Amino acid sequence: MTALIDDPSPKVRRALAEAVSGARGAPRHLVIALANDEAQVAAPVLARSPLLTDAELVDCVAMGDLASQCAIARRPGLGVGPAAALAEVGRRDAALALLGNLTAGLTPFVLRRLFARFHDDGQIREALLARPRLPASLRANIALQTARSLADFVASAGWLETKRAEKIVREARDAALASIAAKCEPQERGELVRTLRERGALSMALILRSLLRGERELASAALAELSGQTYARASAFARNPYGQGFAALARKSGLPRHALPAFCAALGAIESHGAGRDDGLKPRLVEATIAACEAQRDPALAPILSLLWRFAAEAGRVEARVARAAAAKPRLPLSLDFAPANDEGGGAPNAGPIKSLAAPTVSAAQPADPAEDPPPRLEISQNLIRPLDAA
């Protein structure tokens, strides 16, 4: 078998590689020789052989071509070392194959390295977002990069004025970031806020949007990051927004004085109306915050009120879409719809207790109405009647 390694035909060596690729008892020197052969020969061994160590796979990644890298990237249960090597030197298609391998050991470092190398590639960003347990800070970076790419594309295409395009993309970006923050694990929240701060995305508009979704966590983490306080202390102050402690925390965080009433009103609305269960902006919270800010009659609040009214319009549009989608769903006729809402008694129709199980009675035939079509006549064979009479 070893002599076949030097066969001049790649087809022979490929057949040998296919034969030993999944065998644990294959000669190790044979597997290593095949793994370092040309790509079409090495691919089966690189993709499946259990005899190759992580160190050997790292060497194959560094020296192999695209086909060899893709074969390694698709290995079931690929180790952290080869995955890190692919993240460092793998080509684009190999990176896509690696991200599509859900059994590969992709650490947060590997995922971030892939994003750092291929952040301009939309397919890579999509593949990253499809990975389970993606760090929240990396999701935020992907959202920021996607928003930037979208803004550049719209501006270059000339579809919208630059300022209008930037405004639309910024609001869509903030909506995505608020959703990411809402689903963020508590242990990842601090890193997410630091990432947003470093990227210049930790804005008052984002924090207000998060509050008007009914979520205090991002606001508390942002105030803790900006003021140097602990998250627990900032969160405690946020539960009493009209107290002196929260006002001092906001000043230390650098929050403009004229913006404080809006944040207090939003936090107070959460206390009064609750957070709600649905995703997205909550109309009741937005309306309560607008009412509280308008009651201040402060001209300095005009920009914030403008933002709040845009939030109200967005929440109204989403609510209308949901209602329209619900109305568009086909319903059964009322006679066939057994939902409790259609039953006057709250239960299934005719669901009373069965008092007896009497046999059905047969009434005498009634004279037919000449105005109606007569029913078809039912005739029973005499061969069936005689046994019944005999019984």
The residue ranges of every structural domain in the chain are 135-181+188-201, 234-326
Q: To which residue do tokens 């992907």 refer?
A: 142
Structure tokens at 99: 């991200």
Query: Could you give the CA distance from residue 104 to residue 114 in angstroms, rounded to a whole number?
Result: 14
Query: Could you give the CA distance from residue 100 to residue 117 in angstroms, rounded to a whole number?
Result: 17
pLDDT digits (tens, 9 = 90+) for 59-109: 999 999 999 999 999 999 999 999 999 999 999 999 999 999 999 989 999
Mapping DSSP to helix (H, G, I), strand (E, B) and coil, where does residue 162 land? helix
Q: To which residue do tokens 């190999």 refer?
A: 94
Q: How many CB atoms lie within 10 A of CB 317?
A: 11
Q: What dihedral do alpha carbons 356, 362, 363, 368 form, nearest 10°?
A: 130
Model pLDDT, residue 22: 87
Q: How many CB atoms lie within 10 A of CB 77?
A: 9
Share of the chain above pLDDT 90, in %: 67
Taking the whole predicted model, whether its pTM rises above 0.75 is answered as yes
Taking Cα atoms as reference points, which of 25, 23, 30, 80 lies closest to residue 55? 80
Burial of 79 (0-12, 13-18, 19+ CB in 10 A): middle
The answer, yes or no, to whether residue 203 has pLDDT greater than 90, is yes
Q: How many CB atoms lie within 10 A of CB 229?
A: 18
Q: How far apart are the first and last CA of the chain?
A: 87
pLDDT digits (tens, 9 = 90+) for 341-385: 544 444 444 444 444 444 444 444 444 454 455 555 545 555 555
Average pLDDT estimate for 235-243? 94
The residue type of 244 is Q
Query: Could you give the CA distance from residue 89 to residue 125 in angstroms, rounded to a whole number?
Result: 18
Which residue has better confidence, 141 or 365? 141
Task: Specify which of 21-25, 135-139, 281-285 reaches the highest per-range mean pLDDT.
Answer: 135-139
Burial of 374 (0-12, 13-18, 19+ CB in 10 A): exposed
The answer, yes or no, to whether residue 278 has pLDDT greater than 90, is no
Model pLDDT, residue 363: 46
Query: Could you give the CA distance from residue 320 to residue 342 in angstroms, rounded to a whole number?
Result: 25
Up-side HSE of residue 135: CA atoms within 13 Å toward CB?
20
The residue type of 317 is R
